[in-house]
């Protein structure tokens, strides 16, 4: 039997693993440059669904999960439909569309906003922000701002240096 501390650690590790998988998924989209976001979303969602079904069937077979009653499924039906259609399909598709235009390295940065959004919504619901959450928000926002400034600074250095290496007779043509 797990202690309460080890249960929290296990949950934290699962969250960390989920975030890592999401980063790998996002960066993986860069490997399929010829694919449309719809194709990437469809194929990865189908594969992910098959993996999830396999895990649930195995966990049910080993007694770790129980099959919900028909009444329970009926009660949570609207929530299930939302999670399947909106969060599971539409959100992932729009994520992939955004990453196609922003590039995955920039898209991954948006994942850092999730905890800031969560704390903001919790605060609007009356939950008090602790010092740890406030420090976390400051670190996240600071890191995003620093990353943005670094990218701008790097692009200013790289572009002029490549232009200065051109010879006198080299022509720059527009496209």
Contact residues for 104 (Cβ-Cβ < 8 A; gap 6+): 26, 27, 29, 30
pLDDT tens for residues 114-169? 888 888 898 999 998 888 888 988 988 898 888 888 888 887 776 555 555 555 55
How confident is the model over 11-65, as pLDDT tens digits? 889 888 988 888 889 888 888 888 999 999 999 999 999 999 999 999 999 999 9
DSSP letter at 67? P
The pTM assigned to this predicted structure is 0.66
Domain boundary assignment for the chain: 21-102, 112-164
SS3 state at 112 = coil
Could you tell me the two tokens for 97? 């569309």
Using CA atoms, how far apart are residues 46 and 151, in angstroms rounded to an integer?
Answer: 35
Eight-state DSSP code of residue 168: T
């Amino acid at each position: 039997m797990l202690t309460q501390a080890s249960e929290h650690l296990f949950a934290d590790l699962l969250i960390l693993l989920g975030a890592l998988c999401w980063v790998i998924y996002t960066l993986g989209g860069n490997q399929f440059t010829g694919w449309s976001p719809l194709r990437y979303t469809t194929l990865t969602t189908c594969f992910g669904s098959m993996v999830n079904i396999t895990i649930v069937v195995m966990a049910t077979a080993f007694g770790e999960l129980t099959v919900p009653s028909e009444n329970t499924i009926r009660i949570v039906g609207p929530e299930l439909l939302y999670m399947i259609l909106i969060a599971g399909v539409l959100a992932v598709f729009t994520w992939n569309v955004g990453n196609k235009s922003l590039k995955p390295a920039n898209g991954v940065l948006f994942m850092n906003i999730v905890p800031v959004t969560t704390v903001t919504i919790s605060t609007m619901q009356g939950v008090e922000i602790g010092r740890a959450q406030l420090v976390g928000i400051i670190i996240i926002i600071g890191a995003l701002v620093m990353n943005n400034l670094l990218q701008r600074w790097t692009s200013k250095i790289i572009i002029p240096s490549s232009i200065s290496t051109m010879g006198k007779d080299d022509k720059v043509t527009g496209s």
